[in-house]
Amino acid sequence: MNDKKMMTLADIAKLAGVSESTASRALRNNPVINQATREKVQQIATEHQFKVNATARNLRTQKSYTIAVIIAFDAKTQQSVSDPFLLELLGVIADELSLHGYDMLLSTSKRDDKDWGSYFLDSKRADGLIIIGQGEHDPRVEALAQTQVPFVVWGGRSGDEPYPIIGSDNRQGGRLAAEHLLAQGCRQLVFLGDIRHNEIEQRHLGMLDACQAAGIASDAVQQLSCDFTAQDGYLKTQQHLFARLPELDGIFAASDAIAMGAMKALLEHDIAIPQQIALVGFDDIAMSAYCTPSLSTVKQNTQSGGKALVNQLLTRMQGQQPLSEQLAVKLLCRQSSLRRL
């Protein structure tokens, strides 16, 4: 017969000389508790083979200790979670949530009528929401803004949204890309991207800002709608851009994936990059530095972005007012656009 007493959280807290709430946070590795205390509590728990009963804890606190991350895909897009930029951002979010003692529940949404607040919060599936992408002004996001549901959005700002948005300075990124192409001597430019999406629209407007400042007529800048995939970048280049050769000399793609699809189509037709057509993408996904030629791109700071999303959501969950943040971008010049070395 085993008479060994079953340890409780109160017992662990007493042995560590801390409160139950502190012990609970330490066992979740919450950074609010200093590292020495966390290690002490965790060591005592290990020595006594103590494990938190997650179900009982959740019932007691009425919390799930889970954050739902919703990828708000447009039903018409071919973009998927395998998109390299999304994977990088999701990785940062998952790591940051883990540091704060939360799990991540990933959900994709292709334009259904699901009530996110009811589905995730009322059912105790999640304690808060991070929404990546706003699509074409998704009404579900607008509906959430009328509730007390804690959420933050990754996307582009128009300036009047009643909810916190974390995102890159997309207009500045578009401006930097176009200024670089113009500095390389390009004068007949194409923007590849779907400007119905706020972030992409801002990148296009930044490109037009730079062209206007340089005295380039607006009719010299073509906008070609393109999905967020390499496949569509390849197809649109094949179907539409070859008709503009040889006068076309610069492409700014709304994402690196689109740019790489365009690059493949151009190289298959023996179009010299950057000598005949200079090419700039957006995102700085890992493979952009390793393709041939290496891809010039506008870098988004996924580390800062993912951390800001989590921290602003936790601020909201603690009853405080979260803040929108616009993150700086950086132009990385590589082989695909550098004509003048």
Considering the chain, what percentage of its residues have pLDDT values greater than 90? 56
Q: How many Å apart are CA 279 and CA 338, to the nearest integer?
A: 9
**Per-residue pLDDT tens digits for 193-247:** 999 888 999 999 999 999 999 999 877 899 999 998 999 999 999 999 988 888 8
Q: pLDDT class for 24, splitting at 50, 70, 90?
A: confident
Identify the residue with better confidence: 145 or 293: 293
**Per-residue pLDDT tens digits for 251-291:** 999 999 999 999 999 999 999 999 999 999 999 999 999 99
Q: In terms of Cα–Cα distance, which of 170, 201, 171 is closest to 301? A: 170
Q: How many Å apart are CA 252 and CA 259, to the nearest integer?
A: 8
Q: Are strands 165-168 and 151-154 parallel, antiparallel or unpaired?
A: parallel
Q: How many Å apart are CA 218 and CA 209, to the nearest integer?
A: 10
Determine the topology of domain 170-300 in CATH: Rossmann fold (3.40.50)
Q: In terms of Cα–Cα distance, which of 196, 195, 203, 199 is closest to 173? A: 203
| Whether the predicted model's global pTM rises above the 0.85 cut | no
The pLDDT mean for the chain works out to 87
The one-letter amino acid at 266: L
Q: How many Å apart are CA 221 and CA 210, to the nearest integer?
A: 11
**pLDDT of amino acid 1:** 39
Tokens for 29, please give them: 């590795």
Q: Give one DSSP letter per residue of 254-291, joined into a string.
A: SSHHHHHHHHHHHHHTT--TTTT-EEEEEE--GGGGTS
Question: Is the confidence at residue 32, as pLDDT, over 70?
Answer: yes
Give the residue extent of every domain in the chain. Answer: 9-52, 66-167+301-325, 170-300
* CATH class belonging to 66-167+301-325: alpha beta
Q: How many Å apart are CA 77 and CA 34, to the nearest integer?
A: 45
Residue 117 backbone phi and psi in degrees, to 5: -60, -50
**Per-residue pLDDT tens digits for 84-104:** 899 999 999 999 999 888 999
Question: Is the confidence at residue 60, as pLDDT, over 80?
Answer: no
Question: Is the confidence at residue 160, as pLDDT, over 80?
Answer: no
**pLDDT of amino acid 236:** 96
- Decide if 66-167+301-325 and 170-300 have a common fold: yes
DSSP class of residue 117 equals I
